Structure 1
Amino acid sequence: MMSYLATLYKDMSISAVTAGFVAVLVGFASAIAIVFQAAIAIGANQAQLESWVWALGIGMGISSISLSLWYKRPLIIAWSTPGAALLAASVIDLTMAQAIGVFLFVGALIFITGISGMFSKLVSCIPVPIASSMLAGILFQFGLGLFDAMQNDLLLVGVMLTSFVIMKLIAPRLAIAFVLIVAILIVVLQGRLDLSSMDVNLVSPVFVSPEFSLSLLIGIGLPMFIVTMSSQNLPGVAVLKASGYQEQSISPVISMTGITTLLFAPFGGFTFNLAAITAAICMGEDAHPDKDKRYVAGLSAGIFNIFAGIFGTAVVGLFIAFPKELVAALAGLALLNVIASSLKVATASNEYRDAAILTFVVTASNFSLLGISSAFWGLVIGMAVIVLTRLFNKIFNRVEKSYE
């Protein structure tokens, strides 16, 4: 035990801890509003709303810590933002109890998919350049968001960008931590950090007994399962592959997200899955040059998520207090290196270059069809190009041999 703690202490770094914090900050600040909308749409009261934050924070925290320590990799678990958006936009009326029944159904489907190995077999067919190009396409919007934020707040984002460039030259591993400190100082000096509405009371989880309706399981549960697997878990696997963790076993991780959903669904933990955006922050070189020590970032993210769950109301108030330009700029800067390395891997091979570029363009376009996001369709088109290219080459070679 002591030797394990000694190794953990040795592997600890400011950059990894900062990456974990930034990942949680970006995750909550960028998507908590969608979770609120989903909860309110199904009639959640204030206590239930806080319980949802508790369940999501604790669920993400425990699973991220467990997986990161067990596999010694930054395995980040997040809530399903598309799943929350689907709930918020649903035209089907359902009660809180019926919603909990749907969440349990989705958790069971995810667990079965993971334990059966079906999902693992599917993703094993995806070449690393295609996974990398899909990841680059997903993250590209965050890179653009940096300059969208600059248009709205030139001083804040301009100083953040300048600080980032300078620190990358002096101390690359401390760049994001320094940028975060500088940004908070500027916001405080400008009097824009309003913490007056923060409530530091602990959250009390609220248990809701589930009700099951076949029509709701099919009408909402199945779409939520599909959108979570295609728009969240597939990009999550792409992050792992693109970050050099190709050997990671996927089935146990997916199974873990299903178990987590089953455990926390009655308290409002609607759906858990592999993270993509926040995981990319923890898996890049900015977290640590040695990929075998980046698990500390996953551990850090898990701990911050648990704090976010326990002090749900206070943490949500803190995240909301930050200007949206600060969060957008911080996310863009934290992901620049990941975008660059993903594009490098995506275009390195002549065999996959055309398919990879198409995957990147489709994913970055935000194209949507049948309610499924562009990340899935980018992957489908990229794989289709590979299959067609190989088929054409096979036919061409046979024809060529027949004339010899």
Structure 2
Amino acid sequence: MQPFPLSTHFGQFRRDSSASAVLSGLVAVIVGFAGPTVLIYAVAQSAHLADRTVLSWVWAATVLCGLVSVYLSLRTRLPIMSTWSTPGIAFLAGALPGFHFAEAVGAFLTSALLVLLLGSVRPLTEAIGKLPTPLAGALNAAILLPFGFHLVQAFGGKPLLVGAMIAAYFLLRRLAPRWAVAGVLLVGIAAGGLLGLLHHAPVSLALTQPQLVLPEFSWRAVFGLALPLTLLAFTGQFVPGLAVLKVAGYAPEPGPIVRTCGAASVAAAFVGCHNLTLAALLANIVSGPEAHPDPSRRYAAAVYAGLFNVILGCFAGTFLHVMALLPTEAVQALAGLALLAAIASSLQAALQPAPGRVAGTLAAPAVLIVTLSGVSFLGIGAAFWGVLAGLAVYALERPRKVRALTPSPAVPAPSVPPATTAPPGR
């Protein structure tokens, strides 16, 4: 899709805005902030990082990702969200100890430049965007299903709280589907307060200031941090992120997205943040029917999510304390219910028969099984190996042209002229 001139965007955005888009964007930010942000504390504890360093990391991940989301969504009018690399931060929890943080920043910068460079390699970006739809659906389902499992586990831990949220969700889906997720959030807050489950802690409003970190470069950090982070950015975020959009019916050109995220990652590195990438999980919230019944207007939800991220990042320390007030089970239930429709559509896309086949291929189940296994090999996460396994099965099961065994229709014999006497010597 050709980008629209930026000067025409804001008036169109105002016309395409809706209350459901605002609420979907808010829910996406809450789910994203309450989930992967927890991992940064594991990194901080394992690497003994100062609070100021952690807050600067979160500031970059929210403010810069928010700006990228607003830019890409307005530019393409597609629901495109940016986020930090969740597999990357999970990797850093075990890999960062033993490195000076300035060395880590040098690795962050190196990885960002590699992503920017690879985003200019057209065959690579085209290959990312050509994942078959059943495999894209299976990959998306494998990413989302754990959040459904967490919903069930949360119900086991806090049945009254989560039960009220589940009941509100299905009731509102019948009465007012567009408000179902927002209603769940409000019910969760109210039920948590009535049951005495909200955590009480002092919350102060204060601006978060980014911290400039000068990078140091070492071959040890390049091979130990930068290269694995680059692989994880593509295999754990860009590939599944584009798969989410494909299942939702959108087909953006991968190259500009990768290059924009790479350029933003260069800026983020100088304030202590690793790769900014394409969102996969959160994209389901802003690209589904809850954002707006009209698919062409759902990009507004991603724009609002970006704006909320910018605001949240400016007050990152305050919002970290606010999120800590909610019970963990309430956040898990909100995420699981918000993504329930996306899980259903992803499974449907994964298991539908491929064109020209009576039954579905086994490629999609292969993606599901390998990705859900959580296997990691050569420092590369399960999403990559799941896609690789699915592509291998897909190629093995591709229908081959077989020569028909039924006899061809009879062809009349050509007329033969009457025999004549052969000339002598013949």
TM range (shorter): over 0.9
1:386 equivalent to 2:394? Answer yes
Aligned equivalents of 1:402, 1:98: Cα separation in 2: 70
2:345 to 341, 348, 351: 341
State the aligned residue count: 399
Q: Give the distance between the partners of 2:86 and 2:348, measured in 1 at CA.
A: 28
Give the secondary structure class of the aligned counterpart of 1:238.
Answer: helix
With 7-16 and 61-70 compared, the bigger mean Cα shift is at 7-16
Alpha-carbon separation, structure 2, partners of 1:9 and 1:255: 27
Q: CA deviation at 1:353?
A: 3.1
Gaps of 5+ in 1: none
SS in 2 for 1:353: coil
1:32 aligns to what? 37
Q: Is the 8 A contact 1:195 1:318 kept in 2?
A: no
Partners of 2:79 and 2:300 within 8 A in 1: yes
Single out whichever of 226-235 and 3-12 deviates more from structure 2: 3-12
Amino acid at match of 1:46: D
- Summarize the alignment of residues 3-402 of structure 1 with structure 2, pairs less than 5 Å apart: 4-90=9-95, 93-246=98-251, 248-350=252-354, 351=357, 352-390=360-398, 393-394=399-400, 397=402
Provide Cα deviations, 1:182-229, integer angstroms capped at 9, x if missing partner.
Answer: 111111223333353323110111101110001210121111111221
Pairwise CA distance, 1:2: 9.7
Normalised to the residue count of structure 1, the TM-score between the two structures is 0.93
Q: Is the Cα contact below 8 Å between 1:239 and 1:276 reproduced in 2? A: yes
Please report how far the alpha carbon of residue 18 of structure 1 lies from its aligned counterpart in structure 2 after TM superposition: 1.4
Q: Quick one: structure 1 residues 327 and 341, their matched pair in 2 at CA, closer, same or farther if it must change by over 3 Å?
A: same
Are 2:144 and 2:281, in contact at CA under 8 Å, matched by a contact in 1? Answer: yes
Query: What is the CA RMSD across the aligned residues, in angstroms?
Result: 2.1
1:114 shift after superposition: 0.9
Secondary structure of the equivalent of 1:115?
coil
Aligned equivalents of 2:270, 2:299: Cα separation in 1: 30
Q: 1:401 to 1:211 in 2, by over 3 A?
A: farther
In the aligned structure 2, how far is the partner of 1:97 from the partner of 1:385? Answer: 44
Residue identity matched to 2:369: V
TM-score by length of 2: 0.89
Deviating more after overlay: 148-157 vs 11-20: 11-20
Quote the Cα distance in structure 1 between the aligned partners of 2:231 and 2:22: 33
The answer for the alignment partner of 2:420 in structure 1 is: none
The letter of the residue matching 1:359 is V
Q: Distance in 1 between matches of 2:7 and 2:261?
A: 30
Instruction: Measure the CA separation in 1 of the matches of 2:322 and 2:98.
Output: 32
Q: Is the 8 A contact 1:43 1:96 kept in 2?
A: no
- Deviation by residue 1:108-159 (Cα, 9 ceiling, x = unmatched): 0111111222432222331111101110111111112111110001011101
Alpha carbons of 1:140 and 1:76: their partners in 2 closer, same or farther (altered >3 Å)? same
Code of the aligned partner of 2:387: L
* Aligned equivalents of 2:35, 2:199: Cα separation in 1: 18
Q: Distance in 2 between matches of 1:261 and 1:3?
A: 27
Question: Do the aligned partners of 2:82 and 2:277 also contact (CA within 8 Å) in 1?
Answer: yes
8 Å contact 1:168–1:175 — kept in the other structure? yes
Decide which structure has the larger Cα Rg and report it: 2
**Which secondary structure does the structure 2 equivalent of 1:55 belong to?**
helix
Q: CA deviation at 1:92?
A: 5.4
Whether the 8 Å CA contact 2:96–2:104 is kept in 1: the answer is no
Q: Distance in 1 between matches of 2:107 and 2:10?
A: 40
Aligned-pair CA distance for 1:237: 1.0
Q: What is the percent sequence identity of the aligned residues?
A: 36
Contact 1:77 1:273 in 2 (8 A): yes
* Whole-Å separation in 1 of the counterparts to 2:262 and 2:39: 21
Partner-residue secondary structure (3-state), 2:282? helix
Q: Which has the higher contact order (CA 8 A, sep 6+)?
A: 1
* CA separation of 1:92 and 1:318: change in aligned 2, threshold 3 A: closer
Equivalent position amino acid for 1:354 in 2: L
Aligned letter for 1:113?
L
Give SS of 1:397's match: coil
What residue in structure 1 maps to residue 421 of structure 2?
A: none
Q: Give 1:250 deviation, angstroms.
A: 0.7
Cα distance in 2, alignment partners of residues 231 and 2 from structure 1: 34
The answer to whether the 8 Å contact 1:16/1:300 transfers is yes
Q: What is the Cα deviation at residue 372 of structure 1?
A: 2.6
User: Given that residues 202 and 311 in structure 1 are in contact (C-alpha distance below 8 angstroms), is that contact kept between their aligned partners in structure 2?
Assistant: yes
In 1, Cα distance between the equivalents of 2:18 and 2:201? 33
Q: CA separation of 1:3/1:207 partners in 2, compared to 1, >3 Å: closer, same or farther?
A: closer
Moved over 6 A (4+): 400-404
For the 8 Å contact 1:43–1:95, the answer to whether it is kept is: no
Q: 1:22: how far off?
A: 1.3
TM-superposition CA deviations, 1:30-81 (whole Å, max 9, x none) = 1112123324444421222211111111111100111111111110101111
